[in-house]
Structure 1
C-alpha cells in the first residue's frame, strides 16, 4: 500500500549508506545516470488503448436513499466506443454484489440504474477481454453516506486495556539511539536512523528522523506507515528546515536494510501479520504496533528542538488507522490526517455491510470462534479509537477503493467527535490523485503552523 506513486526514475533506488555500499553501487548508479540521459529521447509507456469507463449522472457521485442513480458504461478503443464489446457485470452493495450478468454492448455503451434503500454505497464493476487482455472499470456511488453509522461495539474495558498497555510499556527506559545519515541529510535538515524501546526491553521501534539544522524549536510530525514490510527513506519534503519529522516502521526491525531482507520477511515470518492472535487481545500483533506508535510520541517529546506545542500524526491505509489510535491514546497529539483509513468497522461484514481492510469477517457466519475473534478485534478497531479523539482531523478517501471501502471510511468520519474536514475524491481507488496529495500536504503544513 504505497502512499504515493512518483514518476521519478530514482523512486525505487536504494541510496548507498556507507563506503562499502557506495563501492558496490557505483556501477548501478552509473547505469542509472546513463538511463536518465537517455530517457528524454525514449517514448514513455502511458495508458491503454482500451478503456472501460463508468460514470454516474451526478458530479459528486452522491444520491439520497430511494433515488435512482444512472451510470453510463462505455468500452472504448482509441477513445471511440467499441461496438459489440462483451462485458461481464458485477453490481450491488460494495463487497456484497447481488447481480452478475454478461451482455454485449451493441454501440459500445449502455446505461445502468441503481438504488439503495439504506445509507451505503453501490458499486458497478465491468470487465471485458479484448485481444487476450483483461480490462476493468468500476463506479461506486453513495446513497445518503452522511447517515452511515458503524457497527463496531465498544469493549467496556477498552480504556483500561490501553491504559495498562501503555503503563507497562513505559516502565521500560526509552533508550533512544540516533545515527546520522550524512548521505540522506540536506542543506537544511539532518537525517538520522533512530530507534527506541517499545513495550519490552528487547522490543525496539526503528525509524528515520529529520531535524532542521538551524538552532531553534520546531513543530513535529509523526508519519505512521501503511501495511507491508519495507525500508523507509525519511521526510525531507514536507517542510524543509522548518519541521521535525519522524517516519517509523512497525515491525521492530531496522528500516535501512536492503530491500531483499524485507521481501524475505514479508514472504516468511511477517506473512499475514495483521491476522496474528486476533482472538487474543493481549497477544494481538498490533498491541506492540500501537504502543510503539505512542512511544514514538515519547521519543519526539524528548527531542531538544521540539517546541512542545505542535505534534501531528498522519498516515494512509493502515497508517490512517494508526493515526487514529495514536491520537486517541496521547493528547500531546494536536492534529491528525487519515487517508483511506483501513482497519475500521470489522464486524460490519457480518451484517452484509462493507467493513475495512483486512476484512476479517467477510463471508463468515456466527460461531464460537468467530465470536471470540470479533470480541478480540474490537480492541483494535479504528472506530473505537476515533470515538476517543478530540483533535482537528482531515479525512480523505475515494469511492472506488476496493481495499478500504468508502462505507467504512464514511462511518468513521461520521462519528468522529472532534473538528473534522472531509475531502472526497470519488474516482480514486487505493491510491492518490495529485490534487489529493497536494491538499493533504497543505492541510498538514497549515496545522504545523507553517
Structure 2
C-alpha cells in the first residue's frame, strides 16, 4: 500500500534542513515588539513609536525589567534604555529617519533569570530605497562569455534511480552532470511516472552544506522538479559527511577567491544554475516552454540570478534574497548576506579588488536584468538578509512583480507564505 505521507514528510524534512526556510524555535516567554502602524510603514520624517510587550502563556508579565535599543537596522543603536514594564507592556518613542530605510527596536527581557529577545522594524519609504551596488560596464560581456564557455562542456548526465524515495506516481533520481570548471553538479530529480510532457521547477538552495530530498509533492502535481546542491558533491551522503565539509573544506565558502571575479566561488555556482536548466530542458518529458526557478535566502538570490542569466526561465519565486546590495555597509547602511563589509569582515574585505568582484555577483545587477514575472516574499525583521538590501534589489526590477510581506517574520516563513508561493508557481507554469 502506498505511503501517502511520504512526500509531505520528505518536504518537511527538506525544509527543516534548509536554513533558507528554517522556522524559529518557540519559547515559553515571548517578547513582542511592533511599530504603531499596522503596515509598519512610514514616510521619511514621520515619527514612529514601538510597543514592547512581554507575554507568558498569552498574558502580560508584570514588573518586568526590559532593556531596549533603537537604531537603523544593522547599524549602531542611537537609543539605549532600560525600563520596568509595570503592566507587561510599554510604548516607546522610536524617532524617525530622514532617508528611506529601516529603523529597528530590539528588546531583551529577563524573566526568572532567563533572557528573552524580540524585535520590531519600521520601514521608512522602502519603495524608494536605491542600491549602492555599481553596475560594471562589462557585466553582460562577463556573463555571456561565462555561458559560452559552459555551453562547450557536454552535459554527460548520469541518473541513478532511488527506489526507496519513489512513490506510486513519481520516480526519484540522484542526478549528476558536468558543470563549469571541470566540476560536477548534483541534485535530486523528481518526475511523474505517467507518460507525458510536463512543466519544470528548479529549486536552488539556501546557504550551507547538506543532503537534499527533492520536491516530490509538486512532482505528484504533474511538475518535473530538480533540487540542486551547489558544492560539486553528491547530495545523498550521510549527514556526517556534510557536517565535516561544513566545518572544514567548505567553511566560509562564500568568501573563496573574492579578490578575483574569474575565480570567485559563486561563478561556478551561478553558471551551475544555468547548467541545471540545460539538463531539465534536455529531458524528453519537459514540455518545452514552462520552466520556473525558486528558493530562499541564498536560493532567493540564485532564483533572481538564474532568471536574469537564462531566457528559458519563465517565472521566479524568491524568498528573502541574499547577496543583495552587499556594499550597503560601505555607504553607512545595511548590506546583504554574507555581510562582506560589516564588522571585522570589513577590515579584511574592504579592498578595491574585492569590492570590484562583488559588483559582478550582486543580485541588484541581476535584478536590473530580470524580464519575467516574479513572486517575492519576506519580512521586516530579517536580520540575516536585511530588508534594506532586499528592497534595493526589488526596486530596480522592471518586470511584472508582486511582493507578499509577512511583516513580523525574520529569516523564516509562515506556511501561508509557502502556500502562496507554491500556488503562484503552479498557476504560472500551468497557465491558469
- Alignment partner of 1:51 is 2:30: yes
- Equivalent in 320, 324, 327 of residue 344 of structure 1: 324
Structure 2: distance between partners of 1:200 and 1:365: 29
- Equivalent in 344, 369, 384 of residue 365 of structure 2: 384
Structure 2: distance between partners of 1:171 and 1:220: 24
Structure 1: distance between partners of 2:374 and 2:50: 33
Structure 1: distance between partners of 2:418 and 2:409: 12
Structure 1: distance between partners of 2:415 and 2:346: 41
Decide which moves more: 78-87 or 342-351: 78-87
Structure 1: distance between partners of 2:78 and 2:376: 30
| Structure 1 match to 2:73 | 94
- Alignment partner of 1:420 is 2:401: yes
CA RMSD of aligned residues (A): 2.0
Matches within 5 A, 1:280-299: 280-299=260-279
Counterparts in 2 of 1:213 and 1:60: CA distance versus 1, 3 Å: same
Structure 2: distance between partners of 1:365 and 1:51: 34
Q: What is the deviation of 1:325?
A: 0.9
Task: Report the TM-score when normalising by structure 2.
Answer: 0.91
- Partner of 2:104: helix, strand, or coil? strand
Larger Rg: 1
- Alignment partner of 1:226 is 2:199: no
Q: What is the deviation of 1:12?
A: 4.9
| Structure 2 match to 1:81 | 60
- Alignment partner of 1:136 is 2:117: yes
Structure 2: distance between partners of 1:442 and 1:369: 42
Structure 1: distance between partners of 2:264 and 2:310: 20
Counterparts in 2 of 1:111 and 1:342: CA distance versus 1, 3 Å: same
CA contact (8 A) 2:129 2:391 kept: yes
Structure 1: distance between partners of 2:167 and 2:415: 25
Q: What is the deviation of 1:416?
A: 0.5
| Structure 2 match to 1:246 | 226
Q: What is the deviation of 1:131?
A: 2.1
CA contact (8 A) 1:172 1:200 kept: no
Counterparts in 2 of 1:134 and 1:7: CA distance versus 1, 3 Å: farther
Structure 1: distance between partners of 2:67 and 2:8: 33
- Alignment partner of 1:448 is 2:429: yes
| Structure 1 match to 2:49 | 70
| Alignment deviations for residues 85-134 of structure 1 (CA, whole Å, 9 cap, x no partner) | 11221211100132223222233222122211111111000012222322
| Structure 2 match to 1:323 | 303
Q: What is the deviation of 1:167?
A: 1.4
Matches within 5 A, 1:144-159: 144-159=125-140
Q: What is the deviation of 1:424?
A: 0.7
- Equivalent in 384, 403, 424 of residue 384 of structure 2: 403
- Partner of 2:55: helix, strand, or coil? strand
- Partner of 1:156: helix, strand, or coil? coil
* Higher RCO (CA 8 Å, separation ≥ 6 residues): 2
Structure 2: distance between partners of 1:161 and 1:444: 30
Counterparts in 2 of 1:305 and 1:423: CA distance versus 1, 3 Å: same
CA contact (8 A) 1:239 1:445 kept: no
CA contact (8 A) 1:116 1:122 kept: yes
| Structure 2 match to 1:437 | 418
- Partner of 1:152: helix, strand, or coil? coil
Counterparts in 2 of 1:134 and 1:150: CA distance versus 1, 3 Å: same
Q: What is the deviation of 1:11?
A: 5.2
Q: What is the deviation of 1:81?
A: 2.4
Task: Report the TM-score when normalising by structure 1.
Answer: 0.88
| Alignment deviations for residues 193-242 of structure 1 (CA, whole Å, 9 cap, x no partner) | 001000133x1000000111111111111000000000000111125151
- Partner of 1:349: helix, strand, or coil? helix
| Structure 1 match to 2:293 | 313
| Structure 2 match to 1:186 | 167
Structure 2: distance between partners of 1:200 and 1:9: 32
Q: What is the deviation of 1:69?
A: 1.8
Q: What is the deviation of 1:289?
A: 0.5
CA contact (8 A) 1:93 1:123 kept: yes
Counterparts in 2 of 1:443 and 1:265: CA distance versus 1, 3 Å: same
- Partner of 2:163: helix, strand, or coil? coil
Aligned length: 412
| Alignment deviations for residues 150-196 of structure 1 (CA, whole Å, 9 cap, x no partner) | 11101111111111112112211110110111111111111110010
Q: Which runs of 5+ in 1 are unaligned?
A: 1-5, 14-45
| Structure 1 match to 2:39 | 60
CA contact (8 A) 2:190 2:219 kept: no
Counterparts in 2 of 1:77 and 1:212: CA distance versus 1, 3 Å: closer
Structure 2: distance between partners of 1:241 and 1:109: 47
Structure 1: distance between partners of 2:34 and 2:102: 15
- Alignment partner of 1:216 is 2:196: yes
